[in-house]
């Protein structure tokens, strides 16, 4: 492309932010690397190649970006962009770009895009902010999204197959040994057919055929198959339309497993609303333990549905709340009516509604008034029913014994008020440690007015309390995000073992600390960190851009934590909060560093505000 041909392109590119902030040599280099593509609306979609990601700059025309399920994300026209989300996240692009009007697009390759980002901080910040806005605008998860996991998430068993020359007797023995209801029939590594237990009844026994009958003479030939990357919903629809109950799953045209209607039903039973409904119908702790065994499947299903980390945490917490409420109901059925009004309190991650896999218990009892011997015994037994039951359901006892089974945390309203007043007026090290747990508090069951009285008293004492807030800030900034002097990750080790980056304690917990300090300083009753930060918008304590940056950082870190735990679960290794940076793409590492930088900058901000120092 010669200079005369480049000039109109250069003139156009120079008018677009953030390109208008680049030097002439950078603009020239950029325009020389552009390719020009015409798209007709008859093509319907813009083909986005995940192997060669590009920034799409719309010169003319109109386009619409939707999720793969058809939910609108953005509408794009002259001078606007798409394609940057996948380039920045390093993840596979699943969104669709619909062509509404014929258009001309300039396409900038990934290497040129990264060169401009490295050369210009303004350019880099522009697209990072656009990416963050795109994430926020995609909205909250709906129940439909939870049902759109991929079939690969249902594969739990290796393929069970048999050769077409085998006998029905051999097939029956294999099905019995493997405890499966169907077999994939293989011929030269390809699917020749399937044979099911129903076929054995209808095609063999009912017709009096010999057990030595060859499989290929009675099998279903050329069965319908489905890709492991297809949506569960697509498989459900296909089974319904074809009135079939078995679908071979293929990858790269090779069979890898069998999907059955039972698998689909099992998946649907792991949906949160159905699971919560099941919990509410159980009448014994033993049955609750059985139902709670669906929690790992629920978590995996939520992750594969590409739900937001914020929403996954909220959904998991709703299940924990349901288990807690049902255990309290069972306890009251066993022990009789409570001798006074009470409120069951949750602290920490359950209170914030940001639970992840492996969360332990943090709870307490708030009582109407002090107990006598009889009422103390009642609430002791009630606490044991709930805490022991939660432990059996997969929520371990609190290592610090912050549970209602500890008599120290079964207190009257007046006792709780006095305890919090002591922590606030004399913020000693233990009090500050308690603040990271007890000041994130939410009522789960019982008389909510007791909680409201306690919370109102706490907020009155913490709002604009310079001494307490300074102590809280000093304690919260002792830990910093794991970035070294040259922005390299600081890796934690346990002796010779490399543990990785602690995404919880060196990432999410620091954001929770920052949100908590600002909320207590401003008398904000919200407990969830995102809700606290949202409530801060428009206040004088922190600017809106910093708030959005913190929320985006929290979502990104929490998402990486969940994906990492999902991988650990699939590998059968203990779940942890540690992530090895080498497991990330270069772009994902870049964004994780940026998220940690947001935390460090925000910690500097609370030091300036509440300590009056750097």
- Do 525 and 573 sit in the same domain of this protein? yes
The whole-angstrom separation of Cα 173 and Cα 314 is 46
Helices (H), 84-199: 84-89, 110-119, 121-137, 143-146, 168-178, 197-199
CATH of the domain at 300: 3.30.460.10
Both 118 and 180 in one domain: the answer is no
Contact assessment for residue 136 and residue 189, using Cβ atoms and an 8 Å cutoff: no
What distance in Å separates the CA atoms of residue 422 and residue 426, rounded to the nearest whole number?
6
- pLDDT band with cut points at 50, 70 and 90 for residue 199: confident
| Structure-block tokens of residue 163 | 């050769």
In a domain, 466, yes or no: no
Instruction: Tell me: do 432 and 503 sit in the same domain.
Output: no
Residue 187 or 378, more confident: 378
Task: Check whether residue 349 and residue 241 sit in a common domain.
Answer: no
Task: Report how far residue 568's alpha carbon sits from residue 565's, in angstroms, rounded to the nearest whole number.
Answer: 5
Give 11-57 pLDDT, tens digit per residue: 999 989 999 999 999 999 899 999 999 999 888 899 887 778 899 99
Domain contains 590: yes
Q: Return the pLDDT at 140.
A: 39
Dump pLDDT digits (tens) for 216-242: 999 999 898 988 877 776 677 677 667
Residue whose C-alpha is closest to residue 606's, from 544, 531, 509, 516: 516
Last residue of a domain, one of 218, 237, 267: 267
Residues 386 and 410 in one domain: yes
* 327 vs 569, higher pLDDT: 327
Q: Do 317 and 441 lie in a common domain? A: yes
> Do 157 and 249 meet the contact criterion of CB atoms below 8 Å apart?
no
In percent, the amount of the chain with pLDDT more than 90 equals: 48
For the chain, what is the mean pLDDT? 86
Neighbouring C-alpha atoms within 13 Å toward the C-beta of 34: 28
Q: Which of 267, 283, 304 is the last residue of a domain?
A: 267
The strand pair at 182-187 and 72-76 is best described as unpaired
- pLDDT grade for 142, boundaries at 50, 70 and 90: very low
Domain annotation covers residue 471: no
3-class DSSP assignment, residue 255: strand
User: Would you say residue 156 has pLDDT above 90?
Assistant: no
For 182-251, what is the HEC assignment?
A: EEEEEECCEEEEEEEHHHHHHHHHCCCCCCCCEHHHCCEECCCCEECCCEHHHHHHHHHHHCCCEEEEEE
Helix (H) or strand (E) holding 410: strand 410-412
8 A C-beta contact, residue 362 and residue 347: yes
Tell me what percent of the residues of the chain surpass a pLDDT of 70: 91
6-19 CB burial, b ≥16 within 10 A, e <16: beebbebbeeeebb
* Res 372 pLDDT > 90: yes
22 is written with which tokens?
């680049």
Does residue 343 sit within a domain? Answer: yes
Between residues 237 and 298, the one the model is more confident about = 298
Rounded to the nearest 10°, the torsion over CA 109, 112, 118, 123 is -70
Residue 69: phi and psi, rounded to 5, are -95, 5
Residue 470 domain-assigned? Answer: no
| CA gap 451, 471 in Å, rounded | 25
Q: What is the per-residue pLDDT for 141? A: 36
Q: How many folded domains does the chain comprise?
A: 4
Q: What per-residue confidence (pLDDT) applies to 261?
A: 73
Instruction: Give tens-digit pLDDT for 534-574.
Output: 999 988 778 888 999 999 999 999 989 988 888 887 788 88
**Residues 220, 222, 224, 228: is their CA dihedral positive or negative?**
positive
- Structural domain that includes position 183: 151-267
The DSSP call for residue 21 is: G
Question: Do residues 423 and 352 share a domain?
Answer: yes
Does position 495 have pLDDT exceeding 70, yes or no?
Answer: no
CATH of the domain at 536: 1.20.120
Copy the structure tokens of residue 284: 């014994």
412 belongs to a structural domain: yes
Q: Which two tokens stand for residue 99?
A: 């062509």
Question: How much is the pLDDT for 327?
Answer: 97
Q: How far apart are CA 138 and CA 59, in angstroms?
A: 25
Average pLDDT over residues 501-514: 94
Among the ranges given (95-99, 322-326, 433-437), the one the predictor scored with the smallest mean pLDDT: 433-437
Residue with tokens 């039972």: 262
Question: What pLDDT digit, counting tens, does each position of 388-447 carry?
Answer: 999 999 999 999 999 999 999 999 999 999 999 999 988 777 777 777 789 999 999 999
Q: Give Cα 21 distance to the centre of its chain.
A: 36
Q: State which of 267, 289, 313 marks the end of a domain.
A: 267
| Integer Rg of the chain from CA | 29
Both 262 and 333 in one domain: the answer is no
Nearest to 344 by CA among 446, 208, 273: 446
Strands 497-502 and 578-579: antiparallel
Which comes out higher in pLDDT, residue 295 or 334?
A: 334
User: Is pLDDT of 91 > 70?
Assistant: no
Question: For the residues 2-14, what does the mean pLDDT come to?
Answer: 81
pLDDT in tens, 239-278: 766 778 888 998 887 888 888 877 766 565 456 767 887 8
pLDDT of residue 447: 95
- Which residues are bridge partners to 342 per DSSP? 367
Residue 128 clears pLDDT 70, i.e. is over it: yes
Q: Are residues 296 and 436 in the same domain?
A: yes
Q: Are residues 199 and 218 in the same domain?
A: yes
Question: What pLDDT score does 614 carry?
Answer: 39
In angstroms, rounded to a whole number, what is the distance separating the alpha carbons of residues 9 and 32? 10
Looking at the fold, whether 249 and 383 belong to one and the same domain comes out as no
Please determine, for residue 132, whether its predicted confidence score (pLDDT) is greater than 90.
no
- Averaged over 155-184, what is the pLDDT? 87
Q: What is the CATH number of the domain that holds 206?
A: 3.10.580.10
Q: What's the rounded Cα separation, in Å, for the pair 63 and 60?
A: 10
Residue 56 lies in a domain: yes
Cα separation of 530 and 563, whole Å? 20
| Cβ-count burial 541-575 (b if 16+ within 10 Å, e if not) | bbeeebbbbbbbbbbbbbbbbbbbbbebbeeeeeb
The whole-number pLDDT of residue 424 equals 92
CATH number of the domain where residue 119 is located: 2.60.120.10
User: Which of the four pLDDT bands, split at 50, 70 and 90, describes residue 144?
Assistant: very low
Which pLDDT score is estimated for 162? 93
User: Confidence class of residue 494 from pLDDT cuts 50, 70 and 90?
Assistant: low
Q: Which two tokens mark 332? A: 């009251």
Residues 275 and 416 in one domain: yes
User: What is the side-by-side order of every strand in the sheet holding 161-163?
Assistant: 161-163, 182-187, 190-196, 220-221
Phi, psi of 259 (to 5 degrees): -100, 130
Rounded CA separation 506/576 (Å)? 13
Report the C-alpha gap between 489 and 314 in whole angstroms. Answer: 29
The predicted model scores a pTM of: 0.62
């Amino acid at each position: 492309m010669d200079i005369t041909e480049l000039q109109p392109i250069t003139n156009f590119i120079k008018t677009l932010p953030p390109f208008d902030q680049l030097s002439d040599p950078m603009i020239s280099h950029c325009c020389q690397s552009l390719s020009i593509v015409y798209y007709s609306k008859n093509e319907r979609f813009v083909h986005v190649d995940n192997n060669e990601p590009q920034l799409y700059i719309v010169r003319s025309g109109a386009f619409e970006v939707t999720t793969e399920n058809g939910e609108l994300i953005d509408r794009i026209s002259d001078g606007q962009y798409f394609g940057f989300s996948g380039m920045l996240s390093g993840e596979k692009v699943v969104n669709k770009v619909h062509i509404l009007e014929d258009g001309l697009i300039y396409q900038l390759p990934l290497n040129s895009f990264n060169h401009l980002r490295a050369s210009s901080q303004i350019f880099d910040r522009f697209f990072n902010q656009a990416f963050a806005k795109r994430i926020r605008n995609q909205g909250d998860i709906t129940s439909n999204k939870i049902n759109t996991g991929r079939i690969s998430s249902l594969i739990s068993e290796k393929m069970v197959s048999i050769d077409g020359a085998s006998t029905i007797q051999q097939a029956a023995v294999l099905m019995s040994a493997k405890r499966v209801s169907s077999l994939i029939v293989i011929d030269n590594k390809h699917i020749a057919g399937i044979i099911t237990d129903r076929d054995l009844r209808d095609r063999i026994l009912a017709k009096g055929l010999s057990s030595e009958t060859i499989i290929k003479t009675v099998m279903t030939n050329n069965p319908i198959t489905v890709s492991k990357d297809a949506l569960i919903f697509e498989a459900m629809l296909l089974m319904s339309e074809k009135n079939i109950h078995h679908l071979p799953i293929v990858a790269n045209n090779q069979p890898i497993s069998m999907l059955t209607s039972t698998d689909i039903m099992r998946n649907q039973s792991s949906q949160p609303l159905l699971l919560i409904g099941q919990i509410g119908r159980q009448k014994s702790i033993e049955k609750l333990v059985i139902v709670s065994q669906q929690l790992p499947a629920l978590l995996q299903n939520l992750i594969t549905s590409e739900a937001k980390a914020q929403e996954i945490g909220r959904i998991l917490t709703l299940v924990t709340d349901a288990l807690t409420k049902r255990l309290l109901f069972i306890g009251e059925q066993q022990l009789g009516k409570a001798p006074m009004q009470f409120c069951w309190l949750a602290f920490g991650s359950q209170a914030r509604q940001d639970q992840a896999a492996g969360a332990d218990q943090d709870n307490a009892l708030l009582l109407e008034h002090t107990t006598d011997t009889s009422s103390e015994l009642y609430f002791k037994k009630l606490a044991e029913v709930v805490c022991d039951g939660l432990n059996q359901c997969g929520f371990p006892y609190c290592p610090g014994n912050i549970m209602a089974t500890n008599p120290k945390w079964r207190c009257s309203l007046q006792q709780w008020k006095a305890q919090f007043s002591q922590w606030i007026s004399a913020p000693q090290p233990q009090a500050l440690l308690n603040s990271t747990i007890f000041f994130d508090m939410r009522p789960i069951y019982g008389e909510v007015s007791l909680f409201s009285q306690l919370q109102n008293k706490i907020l009155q004492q913490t709002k604009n309390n310079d001494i307490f807030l300074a102590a809280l800030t000093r304690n919260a900034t002792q830990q910093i995000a794991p970035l070294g002097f040259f922005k390299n990750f600081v890796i934690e080790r346990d002796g010779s073992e490399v543990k990785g980056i602690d995404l919880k304690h060196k990432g999410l917990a620091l954001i929770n600390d920052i949100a908590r300090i600002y909320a207590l300083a401003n008398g904000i009753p919200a407990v969830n960190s995102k809700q606290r930060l949202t409530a801060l918008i428009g206040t004088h304590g922190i600017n809106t851009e910093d708030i959005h940056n913190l929320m985006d950082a929290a979502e990104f870190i929490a998402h990486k934590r969940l994906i990492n735990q999902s991988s650990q679960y699939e590998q059968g290794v203990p779940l942890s909060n540690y992530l090895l940076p080498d497991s990330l793409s270069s772009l994902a590492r870049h964004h994780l560093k940026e998220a940690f930088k947001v935390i460090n900058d925000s910690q500097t901000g609370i030091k300036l505000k509440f300590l009056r120092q750097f």
